A and B are shown apart, each in its own frame.
Chain A
């Protein structure tokens, strides 16, 4: 009963964390995942969220075994 959490790029460096595990509870949202792991009340501006490697919003409900990722705006190409 857990979810996996990933951080990329500037967020990974600022939090000094690339991956974490969190116990799943019913009704948990992506924002609550962020709050529980980082202790910060809000996402930094422009932070993007992916759940199971697809873009999602901060109020999406997370299921058990989901993979949740937080990262800054993308800058490839």
Chain B
């Protein structure tokens, strides 16, 4: 149930493909019947102004622990076989991927529900902070969008 913080651009679907190959090597093919993949990427607009870039800050150590705790909670709540979380930090441009959450399970309900749970918990508890660059200068994002 790995968690990765990445400073540079990452390709979420390659990450999923590579991790799934490793997962199949570890647990054997045919063990999961459902996998869900959520990818969050950067918009070029937000509440007030066009956003030309963004910086994502995090708390090294605590951020990874928070994401690991969230993954473990999901595994306790649903019959999940494995999870993968990748989150970008540093300087980010519109269209870049920011976050990847992937879940593998025997059936679809657990894969859907656990993925949503991980994503919502990440947004409310994992220590990351966004600062947007707009025509008016840098602006810290103060709250998350509703969903």
Contacts and interface: CB of A to CB of B under 8 A. Distances in A.
B129 A9 contact: yes
A77 to B, nearest CB: 4
Given A50-B127, A74-B129, A75-B142, A8 B59 contact: yes
Interface stretch (B10-18, B23-31, B73-81, B116-124): B116-124
A10 B140 contact: yes
A29 B114 CA distance: 37
Given A72-B140, A75-B143, A77-B119, A53 B61 contact: yes
Contact of B57 (A9, A53, A73): A9
A76 B123 contact: yes
Looking at A6, A9, A55, the one whose CB has the most chain B CB atoms below 10 A away is: A9
A72 B130 CA distance: 11
Contacts of B9: none
B95 interface: no
Contacts, number: 70
A39 B50 CA distance: 37
B94 interface: no
B145 to A, nearest CB: 9
Contacts of A54: 62, 65
Contact of A76 (B87, B131, B140, B143): B87
Contacts of B59: 6, 8, 50, 53, 69, 71
Looking at B58, B140, B144, the one whose CB has the most chain A CB atoms below 10 A away is: B140
Contacts of A8: 57, 59, 127, 129
B101 to A, nearest CB: 9
B40 A10 contact: no
A30 to B, nearest CB: 15
